[in-house]
Structure 1
Amino acid sequence: MWLHNVAAAVMMMPVATGILHRLPPADEQPELMNKFSRAVILTVVYATPIGGISTLTGTGVNLIIIGMWKSLVPNAKPISFNNWFFFGFPAAVLLLLCFWCMLCLIYVRKGSSRVLSDYLDRAHLKRDLEALGKFFAFKF
């Protein structure tokens, strides 16, 4: 939202692929894993431009719209960052909810959360976090 949508997608794609690497090979549950993998990647691909709608700097198209507004309607009140945010944020939230519902209807089957939770549980994540090491190597 406060970052350009392409930069947000570039930062989130390794997180998404990290989640997918934690899953078992597709031959164990091919349909479920294939659909979940698609849903995770599509979430990054579509959620970043939806989030980019919410602020002026979220995507370049927003800045183009502001420039066109100034040239086409010169006597109109200028659109500020706050004005855009009050319009863009609720629109982005509604779009994100619609997108999430659509993903759930298309890619998530009943009972799939039980199978996926075996591989994406808190213990695995805690172990991975501890394997990263300390954030600061020196003491304060």
Structure 2
Amino acid sequence: MRGLAAVLLCLVLASCGQVPPPQAPASSTPTTDTSTPSIPAPLPPSSTPLPTTTTPSRALEPGMTTVRGTVSAGVESGCMILNSGGEQYLLLGADPAIAVAGASVEVTGRADPGGMTTCQQGTPFHVTSTRRG
């Protein structure tokens, strides 16, 4: 009886690995994938107005905003907040050599009011450039 159970167990285990992969329907002509890799869509523009200052000599992409203010440390470790005109922006991707607590800076990027972060403070702002302001 024990030998029969061992044989059945071996048959069951052996059959598990022998399921053939699904086959694509046969085609008379070979196909080549000529598609380009997908690129994530940019974040939609914020419906919340942001205090902005743009420099006429610099053309910004649609949805991009330039904000000036003073940087402060956030309530969570490693979180930097830009205080600008009564608004707080959580700086994501700002140059850490420039965006230090107490510094006046100008950042360009995109606000992401619905974005999730662990910082629990300010509107997330994805920074593309940072400069002393």
Per the normalisation by structure 1, the TM-score is: 0.18
Greater Rg over alpha carbons, structure: 2
| Greater per-residue helix proportion | 1
Per the normalisation by structure 2, the TM-score is: 0.18
| Greater per-residue strand proportion | 2
